[in-house]
Amino acid sequence: MRMKQVSVFIENRPGRLKVLLEELSKAGINLRALSIADTADFGIVRMILTDTERGLAAVRAAGFAASTHDVLRVEVSDQPGGLLKAIAEPLAAAGINVEYVYAFADRPQENAMVVLKVDNVDAAEKVLNH
């Protein structure tokens, strides 16, 4: 399933994540997924929000540089090889590059949700929704 992800460029220093999350909280926006990648000075916070447009407006109003990107949410079997069979093999066979992935499973024997950014969302969506 295609969905919008909000990406926020954030300084890598104490309290910046707190400020970002406070702004979302004040706007009544809930996080559905979160990933943070960092470098020495800056990081990218990637989020799936309950209201993308309002969340984007809130973080921009607080002075953060933010944008949205199309990503895919894919349900995969939570077992050894689940990610391989459901995502990695079909996308590799179709020549689609996976740029990043974040996933979480909290109930053993149930499916995990995976968010992935690929170089061709339209093609990947067709391949994965066979």
Distance CA 3, CA 107 (A): 23
Asked if residue 3 has pLDDT above 90, the reply is: yes
* Strands of the 42-49 sheet, one edge to the other: 31-38, 42-49, 2-11, 65-76, 112-118, 98-104
Distance CA 113, CA 50 (A): 16
Distance CA 106, CA 113 (A): 10
Rounded average pLDDT over 30-35: 92
Asked if residue 1 has pLDDT above 90, the reply is: no
2-69: CATH, from 3.40.50.1370, 3.30.2130.10, 3.40.50.40, 3.40.190.10: 3.30.2130.10
Q: CB atoms < 10 A from the CB of 15, how many?
A: 9
Q: What is the pLDDT of residues 37-90, one digit of tens each?
A: 988 889 999 999 999 999 999 999 999 999 999 999 998 988 899 999 999 999
Q: Can 2-69 and 71-128 be said to share one CATH topology? A: no
Domain residues of the chain, as ranges? Answer: 2-69, 71-128
Asked if residue 98 has pLDDT above 90, the reply is: yes
CATH class held by domain 71-128: alpha beta
